[in-house]
Amino acid sequence: MNHPDSPLRPADGFAPTGSRPATEWPDSTRPSELRSSVFGSTLFDSLAAGPIGVRPPPSVFDVCHVGVVLRAVLFVNAVVGIGALFAARGFAAWLALATVGSAVALPGVLLWLLAACLLKAPLSALPLGAQWAAATSLGAVSGLFGWALGWSTGLDLFDTGHWLAPALAGAAMAASIFQWLRLRAQAKLPADTTAKLAELQSRIRPHFLFNTLNTALSLVRLDPARAEGVLEDLAELFRVALTDTGESVTLAEEVELAQRYLAIEQIRFGDRLQVSWELDAEAGAARVPPLLLQPLVENAVRHGVEPAPEGGLIRVRTRMKMGRAVVSIVNTVSQEPSRPGNGIALRNVRERLRLMHDVAAQFDTRRDRDVFRVQIVVPI
């Protein structure tokens, strides 16, 4: 556990956990090009000039998520239950028929989901018409599998010669699920892009940029090494903001970015900002959306440390719990009112976690008297 009282810079002998030198600027964001723009509008000009990055659309067959599996199973069971209403007389008969039907349908839908998950890459490379054919054909095979498995165990739902009914039912179910997955994939990309753009616009605010540059200018003559470290951290923040890092990064990378941000703020606040890191290397392998932790620690500084004359404490902890990575960010809350926020950062973090991990991720916030807590749980 570290309680830095001074900037966490390698030049000062206090390297933050997992720190590394700033990486090379990509060709599209070299400092020389940034200097050619109007000062103070470079970041937002770059954001408004075009998309953050061109990434391939989400795979239609991306069913390797607990939320997708649960929804597909519930949908198929609901259809089976509704269909049983047309053949059953009375509740007892309907319940028996629906139970037998679900016992046949469940193995089929699970087989379809497993095959779609394993064959996601090759199926996604097919033209749309071929994807439809593959999805429905796989559904027919899965329906026959469920029927054969039920018949072999003694379930008398279909006569042995009526193999066409489960095949057609499986194809129809697969077509319905595939269409839902197509709509889900089409809706995911613009929602993800919108959330990321809003997060970028709210993440590196102009006042933070100006404060950082003023801090660096004031250190140029007094402590050139520390001024260089501040500019390196700022450059890394902008590199991540202006570069498309893909759909996910590791938690360790996000922790490093948060450490760079807090190292800059440490210079500005000095002893008023106390930071504690408790990091589990195993949890650092978890995949999370990019730009996840930095806005949370910025909120902690802005609303917990900045308004307090005596400063405050920020504690960041990562750990493994029951096979999942748990991230907690705790900051003290001052009795002095802080500048009111609009909650953009918290909403975007929650939304991007939902888009990436669906129901497998958790995001909770709460205030306990003079402490504000944020907890994130993601699968490994």
344-354 tens-digit pLDDT:
778 878 888 88
Residue 99 lies in a domain: yes
CA-to-CA distance for 76 and 173, rounded, in angstroms? 7
Could you tell me if 110 and 179 lie in one domain?
A: yes
What confidence category does residue 360 fall into, taking pLDDT thresholds of 50, 70 and 90? confident
Could you tell me if 244 and 351 lie in one domain?
A: yes
* pLDDT value for 212: 77
50-90 tens-digit pLDDT:
333 434 455 788 788 888 888 899 999 899 889 888 887 88
Could you tell me if 70 and 49 lie in one domain?
A: no
299: containing domain = 10-56+204-379
Last residue of a domain, one of 160, 188, 216: 188
Could you tell me if 30 and 123 lie in one domain?
A: no
What are the angstrom distances between the C-alpha of 354 and each of 15, 143, 284, 318, 362?
A: 33, 31, 19, 20, 8
Could you tell me if 177 and 43 lie in one domain?
A: no
**Is the dihedral angle over the CA atoms 224, 230, 234, 236 positive or is it negative?**
positive
> What one-character DSSP code corresponds to residue 279?
-
The overall average pLDDT reported for the chain is 76
Residue 4 lies in a domain: no
Could you tell me if 349 and 262 lie in one domain?
A: yes
> Total structural domains in the chain?
2
Tokens standing for residue 210:
């100006």
Residue 148 lies in a domain: yes
Task: Count the helices and strands in the chain (H runs, E runs).
Answer: 12, 7
* Triad 226, 228, 233: Cα angle to 5°: 95
321-345 tens-digit pLDDT:
999 999 999 999 987 766 665 567 7
280-324 tens-digit pLDDT:
999 999 999 888 898 899 889 988 898 888 889 999 999 999 999
The partner residues of 273 in beta bridges, in order of sequence, read 312
Residue 361 lies in a domain: yes
Q: What's the CATH number where 231 sits?
A: 3.30.565.10
Last residue of a domain, one of 155, 188, 221: 188
Statement: residue 43 has pLDDT above 80:
no
Helix H or strand E segment including 67: helix 66-85
Residue 195 lies in a domain: no
Could you tell me if 14 and 138 lie in one domain?
A: no
Residue 1 lies in a domain: no
Phi, psi of 378 (to 5 degrees): -135, 150
Could you tell me if 77 and 47 lie in one domain?
A: no
Find out whether 11 and 267 touch, Cβ atoms under 8 Å. no
156-196 tens-digit pLDDT:
555 545 678 888 989 999 999 999 888 877 766 555 555 55
Could you tell me if 299 and 161 lie in one domain?
A: no
Could you tell me if 342 and 316 lie in one domain?
A: yes
Could you tell me if 51 and 109 lie in one domain?
A: no
10 Å CB burial of residue 90 (0-12, 13-18, 19+) is exposed
Last residue of a domain, one of 156, 188, 220: 188
Residue 43 lies in a domain: yes
Could you tell me if 322 and 350 lie in one domain?
A: yes
Residue 335 lies in a domain: yes
Provide mean pLDDT across the span 239-267. 81
* pLDDT value for 246: 60
